[in-house]
Structure 1
């Protein structure tokens, strides 16, 4: 359960990072267009909300939200490290994490 939530949080944060022009340029080499930026941003927030909902359903409100916030912190740090040291691998990581999360749901 926490692994699938962590995978969802990572995928959400990766999409939120890719919605920003400077991170998109580092990964893909060009500027992000407005429709892609909006799509990445909306999808990232929906995935993070899905992770929160899943955590609350499995653990209850208080413990679920606490676990979700902890997973958000770990996911944010991992995305920051990926952007710093392996920016080209970011897209591959997002796809693999989305597949892992889908398999574990």
Structure 2
């Protein structure tokens, strides 16, 4: 369960970053569009975070099980981010901080 929450929070942060790179969602979350540099940075950051979550999943399990587990985690993450964009678009800073806190807590718990 700890590993799933780690993957879920990491991939949710990646999807939030990708959502921040889209002009429609920028207007929802920030009230205005971001500069092209910030948009490009958010897009690259989102893909890097999703790539890191894939590498972490493969590292934790073998290749086939890791990819299957990762696909399940990102499916749940995508649904969560879409739900938050629909109903809690003004609270994305709080949601991002909560996801970061969950990620850090799960990483600490995995060490013990």
Answer whether TM exceeds 0.5 for this pair: yes
For the pair shown, which has the larger CA radius of gyration, 1 or 2?
2
Q: Using the alignment, how far apart are the partners of 2:38 and 2:101 within structure 1?
A: 21
In the TM superposition, structure 1's runs of 4+ consecutive aligned residues that sit over 4 Å from their partners are: none
From 96, 100, 103, the equivalent of 1:101 is 103
Please report the RMSD computed on the Cα atoms of aligned residues, expressed in angstroms. Answer: 1.0
Unaligned runs of 5+ in 2: 108-112
Alpha carbons 1:19, 1:40 under 8 Å: kept: yes
Question: Which sections of structure 1, spanning at least 5 residues, go unmatched?
Answer: none
> Aligned residue pairs: how many?
105
Structure 2 match to 1:54: 56
State the TM-score, normalizing by the size of structure 1. 0.94
Report the TM-score when normalising by structure 2. Answer: 0.88
8 A contact 1:5–1:55 mirrored in 2: yes
**Aligned to 1:34, which of 30, 33, 36?**
36
